[in-house]
Structure 1
């Protein structure tokens, strides 16, 4: 304090200067004697630290002390991602923080008691999600809830009488008045994937952009992509090359473009073929199911695709009649690999179904070219994210030639009987087409 007084000895004669010295003194003493401030509480929950700040009731309009709880998210990875985004947007409409939902690690459609719950933060980065989506939507922890006894249950309606309009009216009603007095609103009934949709595609895309895989899962995807690239280097004879961004640096210092790889989401599993055949009959179309022969033919007819090219086949091997057959009948120059042939099946076997899907999703997302089925939510969300990538780098003609991150739908015939170019229409008023599939794609 003596040093501080000497430093400010000149200006101390004014009242303002004296106030400044007093303020600085108080702040220094508070920092030394009270390092933890009242009202700031760090709570360890699982493997993350949830920060609760009761004195700040809003995060750019989102209440941090009012919460929404939703049922466990179920079914496939991308059904759960859509359900999660819909829950986030519902919480946003209610001006509430979404309590971190439980995902499902296993894939069961009817046996709910067999679902293996897995915490959101075991798959996606919790803190990074809140950082990236700050001001738009927010996730909270159950440890943030102060009163767990007074919870308002909100029953989601079902059946034909529960229309989109009635659902929207219910949400608006619960966003104001006495309903807002409850710390927690718990939605009960069907899972969020089956809720009515009230939000445009761009809002869903905003949530999806905030979902980053945990470091462990992302590193596994890195290993697989590196292995695919290594196969390409072996084909070109540059086994000692090192990848640097989009170019390859060889041991002698020269550079060349890496061999591109095509990721094909090959939906030919037993359960899918039964489902898609029924769907084709119901919708009176023949542009949903594609057998292996058609997929191989259409990938081989991609306009402008140069060979040799590595083809990574993303497929649920356990649900195939004969997984080895998917490697047959490819034209010369197309080098097909699935998990086992690539030598990475051991990576996948370490994890439950949900994380296996998350790894495959990331690999497909990073491919130079992606080919999928427009009636698959897995393929549809990859096409959406790749469209977002093109938007971020200001691609003006996303359906043009030689664009980065192109996607194709093999179930729809395109130029020269190749797959149809696929870009997500970001101006759609709902996610209906992506949630349940469509043969109307932007290109």
Structure 2
């Protein structure tokens, strides 16, 4: 039986009063743990959920038990998501080294045999406000049982209490495993070989034209117009993306353009993406670049992680400001080059000259939602299109 409040369900074994290194770093006498539900959806939704779970563990003075991620996009009862452990994607040792003194991710084997546990369910619905959720966390914070397990919703759906800079701390502790980095380096080397000798760099464009995205963005635009009278700029066709990228005046040409797209979700074949770019922009996707086999050996989550790194490293990145993937790429690029308004752009937002708008992430925001998922926030001061 699970309870909605933080109440003990049952004891097993004896209480441990000895000091453990990880627990001592958190300012407590022994290490205590937080266990969370499986983390699902796309790569950056999972990174946000992971960070939210880690920040919750920190708030509760607990170590986060290594969560299970989802290798596939499927996440319904008829076709549950394929699971993948955290340390198959990210280095656990690197995380704990980088985040030492801030928060720790522990293995299930770190939990003492017979440790007492309590199960809780987060509330939901309109009545479960952020303030009420914080009160609930404060109640859980007072519990001293070694394992606290939160049941129910994926942490991405939990109420958010953390500022952007706190998320940044967690994101900077995430390092891909060496095997994934090896594939990233291979793809990067192929891009270098394909680049022009006059411009040995590349532009990365995160093209959100997959069928699931187009349905989502059109429905969102329609609801905003009908219910709030707002005209949102979310959807962009392939032709609009190409035109707005071409109009970016600061692009050094000729330029190689890497098209980051979830190929399996496309309505049309890959070849259609390569047409219409003109002579001075040379588009490539995975097949043309000769790296399709490298991607094919991995599940969707790791394929997305490789693309994320390739987009992060690009000389110029162009994405959709309403996309979580694009938003977190720009967040990371802002950390790498905090004062550059000429290296990242949002093609769904247009300047008065018809080009994609320059884009930096505002790290001072009080909430990650203001600059990431379903946000039209860009901080570079430019004149928008009328």
TM-score (norm 2): 0.89
The answer on 1:81 being equivalent to 2:59 is no
CA, structure 1 residues 162+300, in 2 after alignment: closer, same or farther (shift >3 Å)?
same
SS of residue in 2 equivalent to 1:386: helix
Which of these residues, 239, 243, 257, is aligned with residue 311 of structure 1?
257
Determine if the alignment matches structure 1 residue 187 to structure 2 residue 133: no
Distance of aligned partners of 1:189 and 1:306 in 2 relative to their CA distance in 1, 3 Å threshold: same
Q: Deviations over 1:228-265 (max 9, x none)?
A: 11001xx33xxxxxxxxxxxxxxxxxxxx752210000
Superposition map of 1:3-152 within 5 A: 54=20, 57-61=23-27, 65-111=31-77, 114-148=80-114, 150-152=116-118
Q: 2:365 aligns with which of 425, 428, 432?
A: 428
Residue 270 of structure 1: CA displacement?
0.6
Residue aligning to 1:227: 190
Shift of 1:283: 2.0
Per-residue CA deviation, residues 328-377 of structure 1 (Å, 9 max, x unaligned), is 01122000000011111010000001100001111111100110001110
Output the CA distance in 1 between the equivalents of 2:131 and 2:375.
24
Look up the SS of the partner of 1:114 in the other structure. Answer: coil
User: Given the alignment, which residue of 207, 221, 242 partners 1:296?
Assistant: 242
In structure 2, how many angstroms separate the alpha carbons of the residues matched to 1:78 and 1:192? 13
How much does 1:55 deviate? 6.1
Q: Which residue, out of 323, 326, 334, partners 1:379?
A: 326
- CA 1:148 to 1:362, structure 2 compared with 1: closer, same or farther past 3 Å? farther
SS of 1:57's partner is: helix
2:136 to 170, 184, 187: 170
The counterpart of 1:262, out of the listed 203, 209, 227, is 203
Cα distance per residue 1:119-152 (max 9 Å; x no partner): 1000000000000011111110100111446311
Q: Distance in 1 between matches of 2:134 and 2:94?
A: 30
Cα distance change of structure 1 residues 112 and 150 upon mapping to structure 2, 3 Å threshold: farther
Change (3 A) 1:268 1:208: same
Kept in 2, the 8 Å contact 1:61–1:135? The answer is no
Contact 2:66–2:86 (8 Å) recurs in 1? yes
Cα pair distance change 1:60/1:112, threshold 3 Å:
farther
How far 1:302 sits from its partner (Å)?
0.8
User: Could you say which residue in structure 1 is the equivalent of 2:14?
Assistant: none
Alignment correspondent of 1:283: 224
Partner of 1:207: 170
How many angstroms apart in 2 are the aligned matches of 1:217 and 1:81?
A: 16
- Structure 2 Cα separation of the partners of residues 137 and 167 of structure 1: 21
Change (3 A) 1:276 1:62: farther
Q: 1:328 to 1:428 in 2, by over 3 A?
A: same
Match status 1:327 vs 2:293: no
Cα offset, 1:430, TM superposition? 0.9
The CA deviation at 1:209 is 0.5
* Residues 317/62 of structure 1: CA separation in 2 closer, same or farther (3 Å cut): farther
Q: Aligned residues, how many?
A: 357
Structure 1 stretches of 5 or more lacking a match? 1-51, 237-256
Q: CA deviation at 1:64?
A: 5.7
Q: Partners of 1:156 and 1:113 in 2: how far apart?
A: 24
- Output one character per residue of 1:37-85: Cα deviation in whole Å (capped at 9) or x when no partner: xxxxxxxxxxxxxxx9736631153676100000000011111000000
Q: Any idea what the Cα deviations from partners look like across 1:282-314, whole Å, max 9, x if unmatched? A: 222241000000000011011221210000000
Report the Cα distance in structure 2 between the residues aligned to 1:63 and 1:295, rounded to whole angstroms. 55
Greater RCO structure (CA 8 Å; 6+ sep): 2
Alpha carbons of 1:334 and 1:100: their partners in 2 closer, same or farther (altered >3 Å)?
Answer: same
Residues 64 and 96, structure 1, Cα contact 8 Å, conserved in 2: no
Q: CA deviation at 1:280?
A: 0.7
**Does residue 302 of structure 2 align to residue 355 of structure 1?**
yes
Q: Which runs of 4+ in 1 moved over 4 A?
A: none
The root-mean-square deviation of aligned C-alpha atoms, in Å, is: 1.7
Cα gap change, 1:148/1:326 in structure 2, threshold over 3 Å: closer, same or farther? farther
Residue number in structure 1 paired with 2:13: none
TM-score (norm 1): 0.78
Are 1:63 and 1:96, in contact at CA under 8 Å, matched by a contact in 2?
no
Residues in 2 aligned to 1:62 and 1:333: alpha-carbon distance in whole angstroms: 60
TM-aligned CA deviation for residue 435 of structure 1:
4.5
With over 3 angstroms needed to count, the CA separation of the structure-2 counterparts of 1:258 and 1:288, relative to structure 1, is same
Provide the residue aligned with 2:124 in structure 1. Answer: 158
Distance in 2 (alpha carbons) for counterparts of 1:95 and 1:131: 18
